Amino acid sequence: MSTNIVWHHTTITKEDRRKRNGHHSCVLWFTGLSGSGKSTVANAVSKKLFELGIQNYVLDGDNIRHGLNKDLGFSAKDRTENIRRIGEVAKLFVDSGQFVLTAFISPFAQDRELVRSLVENNEFIEIYVKCPLEECEKRDPKGLYKKARNGEIRDFTGIDSPYEEPVSPELTIETHLHSIEECVNKVIAYLRDRHFIKGES
């Protein structure tokens, strides 16, 4: 596929952009069941980072599937391609010197590992948004679990499509046990402790 295509190095490097921004750049990869709280926590962390003057952007499942990935459905093959493309986009954000927060179910461990391998060692932070299926189903913010139980939606994660739990994520947040604010603080504390952002946790 890529015959006759040569990688073109940019004049301004990732390091130049990081220096100008005054901070590191990385991927905060939120993964978890539908309704576990990926979007809610990612957006709240994004707001906090914004207030701290950190360049960041949220890539959200529903939004990406309206545009870039609107040709993809929810078969295992399409989910893998969904995550691969998002991984490539996330890599571009890291290269641009920004934090990128992604909120996708990303149910397959192998797909998440592929994204990890696209960026450098300290640039991928996997955040497992842990919440029991029963609680996600109770929340059902979009009414999708109800539809899945009624058979109106097929291949729904947690119902008739698998979710592979992260084995050793950088961070786990348990949204059925802790408030949104507590979950956000845990992410920010992690970033401070690892010197991704300045300040004491």
Ligand X SMILES: Nc1ncnc2c1ncn2[C@@H]1O[C@H](COP(=O)(O)OP(=O)(O)O)[C@@H](O)[C@H]1O
Ligand Y SMILES: Nc1ncnc2c1ncn2[C@@H]1O[C@H](COP(=O)(O)OS(=O)(=O)O)[C@@H](OP(=O)(O)O)[C@H]1O
Q: What is the DSSP letter of 136?
A: H
Runs of H (alpha helix) within the chain: 14-21, 38-51, 61-64, 76-95, 109-118, 133-139, 144-149, 180-193
**Nearest distance from residue 53's CB to ligand X, in Å?**
25
Render the burial of 82-116: b for 16+ CB within 10 Å, e for the rest.
Answer: bbeebbeebbebbebbbbbbbbbbbbbeebbeebb
Among 103, 171, 191, 197, binds ligand X (CB under 6 A): 103
Q: What is the DSSP letter of 161?
A: B
* Residue 74 binds: one of ligand X, ligand Y, none (C-beta under 5 to 8 A by kind): ligand Y
From 106, 161, 179, 201, active-site residue: 106
* Residue 25 binds: one of ligand Y, ligand X, none (C-beta under 5 to 8 A by kind): none
With a CB cutoff of 8 Å and minimum separation 6, the contacts of 113 are none
65 contributes a contact to ligand X by CB under 6 A: no
Segment near ligand X (CB under 6 A), from 10-18, 21-29, 112-120, 172-180?
172-180
Active site residue 2: no
**Nearest distance from residue 48's CB to ligand Y, in Å?**
20
73 is in an annotated binding site: no
Residues that bind ligand X (CB under 6 A): 32, 34-41, 103, 139, 141, 175, 178-180, 183
What are the catalytic residues? 106
